[in-house]
């Protein structure tokens, strides 16, 4: 499907969603908190207690008279930098045409993969993709097949990261687009995706990533690989013009009831430039679901690198919990456990409209 056709589908979806008034809504109020006590062998760095994007969110879902499902979500995050901002605040419109996302959405590459990101803390596959202002998921054409497209038009769009002026979608003249295909059959899942991002004037980054995951009972194994091709030196980084970066990830996890053991290995290597850099990070973790949306774990990581500042051995003890709030006046409220992310409060019956739930 051509990019112009996808843009037309998005426009039609938005127009049809607001052609009739909403008639019912389901409200969710929740949040998540995580704290980690970390020991590190990095010179000049003592033990630390850090938080990881503690957040609260409110979402509402309703169905219009013509059968479209509209969902809005507002998220406020106290991020690791000590700033409070929005992340993931967006609206989705779903119908026979698929699902359209408006606002701060996971891009098509960001919405898939991460198969090797299994450790409870540290680690993480580096070819994760970017958030984008518009996202489109095609309707199911084949069982198990998911096709996504996303974009950020030229201009200052409403997505997280707006404090940075060299990322597509957050400053005038920068744009981005991405697509991905994911297929799952039985115990096996595979994906492939590409992303093109303007980072500044005459600076374009092209990302590609693919992976496979196999799950059999309590065991999951996964592998991923990706690359970044930079047309010019990237602002605020050590990446030079023509510097290609390759990424590889391997992972295995084993679940024993409420306890999960996980190991992942992540590698990065620069190509095509003098003084090539590389990083090799190996992370092991053990975690336990304590029930009620609370979990805890221990992670240890070892990062070897040509960059002396990146070399580190770290161990963290983590508690992942939530504070949940409700000011509901209409009917009961039930707690829905969300393992590892804290309990979520949801109204036990739909309200007449979004505005009718305000106090």
Task: Say yes or no to pLDDT of 39 above 70.
Answer: yes
- In tens, the pLDDT along 134-173 reads 999 999 989 999 999 999 887 766 655 444 444 455 555 5
Q: pTM of this prediction?
A: 0.77
- So what's the pLDDT on residue 354? 24
- So what's the pLDDT on residue 306? 80
- State how far the Cα of 266 lies from the Cα of 211, in Å rounded to an integer: 13
Average confidence (pLDDT) over 111-139: 92
- In tens, the pLDDT along 174-226 reads 788 999 999 999 999 999 999 998 866 667 888 999 999 999 999 999 999 99
- So what's the pLDDT on residue 164? 45
- State how far the Cα of 101 lies from the Cα of 115, in Å rounded to an integer: 23
SS3 for 158?
A: coil
- So what's the pLDDT on residue 52? 75
User: Which of 273-282, 288-297, 332-341, 348-357 has maximum average pLDDT?
Assistant: 288-297
- State how far the Cα of 17 lies from the Cα of 6, in Å rounded to an integer: 17
CATH topology of domain 3-357: Porin (2.40.160)
Which secondary-structure segment (H or E) carries 13? helix 3-17
- In tens, the pLDDT along 8-25 reads 555 555 554 444 343 456
- So what's the pLDDT on residue 242? 63
Helix, strand, coil in percent for the chain, rounding step 5: 5, 55, 40
What rounded mean pLDDT belongs to the chain?
77
Which runs of consecutive H residues, i.e. helices, occur in 97-148?
none
Task: Say yes or no to pLDDT of 247 above 90.
Answer: yes
- So what's the pLDDT on residue 214? 98
- How many H-runs (helices) and E-runs (strands) does the chain carry? 1, 22
More confident residue, 42 or 99: 99
């Amino acid at each position: 499907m051509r990019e112009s056709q996808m843009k037309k589908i998005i426009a039609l979806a938005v127009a049809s969603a607001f052609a009739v008034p909403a008639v019912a809504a389901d409200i969710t109020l929740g949040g998540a908190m995580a704290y980690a006590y970390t020991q590190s062998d990095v010179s000049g760095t003592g033990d630390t207690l850090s938080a990881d994007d503690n957040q609260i969110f409110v979402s509402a879902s309703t169905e219009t008279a013509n059968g479209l499902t509209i969902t809005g979500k507002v998220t406020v995050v106290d991020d690791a930098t000590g700033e409070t901002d929005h992340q993931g605040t967006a609206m989705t419109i779903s119908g026979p045409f698929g699902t359209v996302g408006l606002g701060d959405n996971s891009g098509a590459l960001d919405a898939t993969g991460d198969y090797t990101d299994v450790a409870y803390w540290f680690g993480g596959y580096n070819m994760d993709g970017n958030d984008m202002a518009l996202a489109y998921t095609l309707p199911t054409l084949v069982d198990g097949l998911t096709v996504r497209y996303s974009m950020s038009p030229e201009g200052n769009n409403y997505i997280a990261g707006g404090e940075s002026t060299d990322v597509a979608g957050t400053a005038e003249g920068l744009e981005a687009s991405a697509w991905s295909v994911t297929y799952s059959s039985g115990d096996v899942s595979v994906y492939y995706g590409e992303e093109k991002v303007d980072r500044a004037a005459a600076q374009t980054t092209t990302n590609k990533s693919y992976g496979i995951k196999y799950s059999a009972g309590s065991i999951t194994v996964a592998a991923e690989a990706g690359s970044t091709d930079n047309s010019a030196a990237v602002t605020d980084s050590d990446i030079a013009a023509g510097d290609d970066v390759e990424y590889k990830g391997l992972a295995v996890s084993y679940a024993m009831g409420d306890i999960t053991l996980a190991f992942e290995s992540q590698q990065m290597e620069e190509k095509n430039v003098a003084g090539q850099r590389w990083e090799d990070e190996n992370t092991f973790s053990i975690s336990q679901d304590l029930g009620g949306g609370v979990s805890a774990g221990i992670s240890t990581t070892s990062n070897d690198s040509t960059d002396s500042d990146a070399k580190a051995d770290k161990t963290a003890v983590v508690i992942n919990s939530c504070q949940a709030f409700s000011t509901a006046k209409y009917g009961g409220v039930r707690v829905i456990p969300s393992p590892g992310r804290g309990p979520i409060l949801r109204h036990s019956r739909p309200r007449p409209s979004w505005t009718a739930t305000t106090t």
